[in-house]
Amino acid sequence: MKTRDDIRNIAIIAHVDHGKTTLVNELLKQSDTLDEHVQIEDRAMDTNAIEKERGITILSKNTAVRYGDRQINILDTPGHADFGGEVERIMRMVDGVLLVVDAFEGTMPQTRFVLKKALEQHLTPIVVINKVDRPGARPEEVVDEVLDLFIELGADESQLDFPVVYASAMNGTSSYDPDLDTQEHTMKPVFDTIVKTIPAPIDNSDEPLQFQVALLDYNDFVGRIGIGRVFRGTIKVGDTVSVLKLDGSKKNFRVTKLMGFFGLKREDIEEAKAGDLIAVSGMEEISVGETVTDAQHPEPLPVLRIDEPTLQMTFATNTSPFAGQDGKFVTSRQLEDRLKRELHTDVSLRVEDTDDPGAWTVSGRGELHLSILIETLRREGYELQASRPEVIYRDIDGVNSEPFESVQIDTPDEYTGSIIDTLSQRKAEMQNMESVGNGQTRLTFLAPSRGLIGYSTEFLSITRGYGIMNHTFEKYMPVIKNWNPGRQKGTLVSMNAGKATTYAMMGIESRGTLMIDPGTEVYEGMIVGENSRENDITVNITKGKNLTNVRAAGSDDMAKIKTPDHLTLEESLEFLNDDELCEVTPHFVRLRKKTLNTSAREKEAKKRKRN
């Protein structure tokens, strides 16, 4: 069988923060791809501002490097399970994977998640043990852990015989030996292993065209752009081809633009053939998984499966008294158009209308997936309000089921008791507990997803920030009945509008934890703190000090309050209860009650108690 020895197609997969994107940077730098004068910044593949800030990859990126007379097409994938829909589709575009594992942390939950997807596609693996220069690195033990994981996931014999390269992507060094002294400033071992191990694509360019879309991009000038692999045949600019839709229908279109990937750029090309990874425009409504074929030979490829959402929230237009003061886009039409536009590129997202014309049910793969969408919207100038995240229940064989997640925790030994206790209250079942040395314990749980909503803040508090928690979707299981894992404490709610005063806050802070600073503008029904008890308390946070002409020297200078607990966007969403909303604008994140009027809210509470 004829193959194309001039190219290799690989995906780089790993757990979050194990160094995928840094490794791609080094491969770009040390290949024959970029001109000498081109300066490449750190993690150049993370082009999105949120990706750069958080150090995570959200969207898959294509690049291609030149090594000798060969082109190596590389797909940098997200490591977080919330973006697993991207990983799964990418596996169909490549012939092998570079599994990057931290030499200190070893295999982690997302390592298992991404590797499972690769092995299911029978891809050829190469293992890169990264960060070998890290204090406490244990590269040889980690290789054994990786082998155990391969066996556990049912790898075949050829996959178990994986080559290993030891590297420090941060320093641009690698070698075939775990000994740190053998590291040299070169990525040659990685390149050579790719060329030698990863199979070259089959060259069937003379057969009828088959190109499958695995990723989507969107451009205001050319509309939707389908990114994928040519599995068979040749495609040229100007060709008339057929798109075989997911619903079984067929549409013809003319290829107006073809783009190939090279270095950090997309370049216009005139034609592509079997084995190439390309971007195609000209199809207005193309979707992930659809096949572009020769008009005379419409043969579809197997449809790509996309993981279904497990979590949903209600997004609505901002109705608070401060609505429209901060954002550029505040109407329901603007918000709806933007959410529908997000569907052009994010196939794991669902947006559905509700009975309320200004609200939509938005479903995604997890809290991170949805919170990053909200963060993106606020940075673009949108105002909205979001409800508490809820899991999506499913009927499976007549049984009402809910999503469960595999949770892995690395923590100092002294906190294990508290973690086991708090997670068991959230209906988690401990599956494993092992000491990993240096006073650290690794705990593994199976937990209902709704029990994990809001847990990360409590977890950081329990472990004083020293614990690491990772969780990935495992499976749907029967619903746990008669259990509501909502927040245990009540809130401090402002009873009027105005500016919060230090004087009022000093009187209130004994009741709980405040979340705003003195001088903050508040409105009736806005949440200003967390009560130390279960019930909500209405407070007058704008109360001023009665002015008299009697003053003790320096008494006003002594007025001090504890530092308020400012919540991030994610913490605010986790904090919410069913009767609360998170108001999000470009510069503010506020918590509020759904019913702002104090007396109306009290009537509702009495009615709920009676029922």
Q: Detail the residues annotated as belonging to a binding site.
A: 17-22, 130-133
Backbone angles phi, psi at 314, to 5 degrees: -100, 125
Task: Output the CA–CA distances (angstroms, integers) from residue 422 to 39, 181, 469, 477, 534, in the order listed.
Answer: 49, 45, 14, 21, 17
The Cα–Cα gap between 118 and 87 comes to 9
The Cα–Cα gap between 33 and 191 comes to 13
Q: What is the full DSSP assignment across 535-600?
A: S-EEE-TTPPPPP-S---TTTGGG---PPP----HHHHHHH--TTEEEEE-SS-EEEEESS--HHH
Instruction: Determine contact, residues 226/292, Cβ cutoff 8 Å.
Output: yes
Strands 265-269, 359-364: pairing kind: unpaired
Picking from 322, 332, 324, the residue whose alpha carbon sits closest to that of residue 358 is: 332
Residue 38 neighbours by CB under 8 Å, 6+ apart: none
The Cα–Cα gap between 518 and 606 comes to 32
Annotated binding residues for GTP, written as ranges, equal 17-22, 130-133
- Outline where 311-391 has alpha helix (H): 332-342, 367-379
Q: What is the full DSSP assignment across 552-570?
A: -TTTGGG---PPP----HH
- Outline where 380-454 has alpha helix (H): 416-425, 449-452
Backbone angles phi, psi at 374, to 5 degrees: -65, -45
Instruction: Determine contact, residues 242/254, Cβ cutoff 8 Å.
Output: no
Helical packing angle, 188-197 and 20-29, nearest 10°:
100
Pair of tokens at residue 202? 């089959």
Strands 223-232, 350-353: pairing kind: unpaired
Picking from 273, 239, 233, 232, the residue whose alpha carbon sits closest to that of residue 253 is: 239
In the numeric block, the tokens 């009402």 are attached to 400
The Cα–Cα gap between 258 and 235 comes to 9
In the numeric block, the tokens 């075949």 are attached to 156
Q: List beta partners, residue 114.
A: none
Pair of tokens at residue 144? 């054994």
